[in-house]
Amino acid sequence: MSYLIDLFLHVDDHLVDIVTRYGAWVYGVLFAVVFAETGLVVTPFLPGDSLLFAVGALAATGVLDPWIAVPLLLVAAILGDAVNYAVGKYVGPRVFTAGDTTGTLHRLLNRDHLAKAHAFFERYGGKAVVLGRFVPIVRTFVPFVAGAGAMTYATFAFYNVAGAVLWVGICVGAGLLFGNVPIVKDNFSLVALGIVFVSLMPAVFELLRYRRESAGLDRS
């Protein structure tokens, strides 16, 4: 049992072993991991970027078929975010019900948070949904918060698909091109951190600007 848990949590490290043991079933495992990592708020710790990179690297050597893996991963990523959005939309209004700020719990679960989340996602949500794809942990919670904040679904769906195409395309593409270059393969964690840092900058600037504008409106 412990081996199976480790296999699921570190599937990117055991991908060759999984292909050897289970053959074509590996595609089902890949789908399940990506879907769970993007669609379930309780599994943000599953591998994302590193798994896609590993898929690309193995596809480059012929171990995996990219014409099967890439479409499957795209569907998993899109469905995962869609499910996460639906759960957030259902759960959010039922959890954030406090109408006052008396006590810590009421401050945390005040319904005003949903109104602010809605305003943010209506204005900047597209960028958050797309850029959030490239940030571990964050990509698991962005669609949930978007649903809880009642981001317009048509807008969310568009950026969900766009973000999934960019995320899967860039990470798997990087694996195809550089996954078997020793210096990149051995330092992919640093490469991923660099990508995350650069990707986060626009979102951080937008958030800071939003907070400044909100503060200005509150004072007026």
State how far Cα 174 lies from the chain centre: 18
* Residue 82 to residue 46: CA distance in whole angstroms: 18
State how far Cα 87 lies from the chain centre: 15
Spell out a b/e string for 51-83, using b for 16 or more CB atoms within 10 Å of the CB, else e: bbbbbbbbbbeeebebeebbebbbebbbbbbbb
pLDDT of residue 108: 47
- Give burial (CB, 10 Å; 0-12/13-18/19+) of 141: middle
* Residue 66 to residue 83: CA distance in whole angstroms: 25
HSE of 138 in the Cβ direction (CA atoms, 13 Å)? 16
Mean pLDDT for back-to-back runs of 10 residues, the chain (220 residues): 51 72 86 92 81 86 90 96 91 60 48 56 74 80 83 90 92 82 67 62 66 62
Residue position matching structure tokens 């550089």: 178
Strands (E), 86-142: none
